[in-house]
């Protein structure tokens, strides 16, 4: 089974999430006897999804939106993505977002027919941010730190692997 984790990141934090998802999903599938190759590729470098049995697409969130490379990838390859199981994840909420929806991925969900979208906290290191991003962090009163919940990320990757492991070989893997 070949799985692609395509990711859009600005400072590397979201890529680290993608790498954890890939490693955890591969290990979980291999434990169930499903030989799996899971790779991580920057969304801007993906030209096709041919040959993949499933896709996880993720992006950092800035100003409530995914990065352009991830949104473009989802829309330009919507037909390919609708032929395989797809999961989406977002990373980046750093302020107090209780009661708010910090990211709108409805257009990406519609384009890809994704099975699920998960939202994970991000990491803030002001020293690595551009001026405009630092201004937003200040406005949100977000503190520097790592808000990623690694056990939750690994659990989600294992759940994806669990869904993929029950699909009989050679059969349509879409709903």
Query: Which string of b and e fits 60-93 if b means at least 16 CB within 10 Å?
Result: bbeeebbbebbbebbeebeeebeebbbbbbbbbb
pLDDT for residue 127: 65
pLDDT for residue 29: 97
For residue range 122-145, list pLDDT tens digits in order: 766 666 666 566 556 555 556 666
How does DSSP classify residue 175? -
pLDDT tens, N- to C-terminus, the chain (175 residues): 999 999 999 888 899 999 999 999 999 999 999 999 999 999 999 999 999 999 999 999 877 789 999 999 999 999 999 999 999 999 975 544 444 557 889 999 999 999 999 999 876 666 666 656 655 655 555 666 677 889 999 999 999 999 999 855 444 443 3
pLDDT for residue 141: 58
- Of all residues in the chain, the percent with pLDDT exceeding 70 is 77
Angle at 164 between CA 41 and CA 48, to 5 degrees: 35
pLDDT for residue 102: 72
CA torsion angle for 142, 61, 36, 151 (degrees, to 10)?
20
pLDDT for residue 69: 97
Residues shown for the chain: 175
pLDDT for residue 143: 65
Strands 2-8 and 37-42 come out as parallel
For residue 61, give the 3-state DSSP assignment: strand
* Cα(91)–Cα(106) distance, integer angstroms: 16
């Amino acid at each position: 089974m070949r799985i692609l984790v395509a990711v859009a990141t600005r400072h590397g934090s979201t890529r680290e999430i993608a790498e954890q998802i890939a490693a955890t999903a591969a290990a979980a599938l291999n434990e169930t006897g499903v030989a799996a190759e899971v790779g991580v590729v920057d969304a801007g470098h993906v030209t096709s999804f041919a040959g993949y049995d499933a896709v996880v697409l993720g992006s950092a969130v800035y100003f409530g939106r995914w990065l352009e490379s991830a949104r473009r990838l989802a829309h330009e390859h919507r037909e390919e993505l609708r032929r395989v199981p797809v999961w989406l994840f977002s990373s980046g909420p750093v302020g107090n977002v209780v009661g708010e929806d910090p990211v709108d991925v409805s257009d990406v969900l519609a384009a890809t027919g994704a099975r699920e979208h998960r939202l994970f906290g991000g990491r803030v290191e002001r020293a690595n941010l551009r001026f405009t991003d630092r201004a937003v962090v200040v406005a949100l009163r977000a503190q520097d730190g790592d808000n990623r919940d690694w056990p939750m990320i690994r659990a989600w990757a294992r759940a994806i692997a669990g869904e993929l492991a029950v699909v009989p070989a050679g059969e349509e893997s879409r709903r």
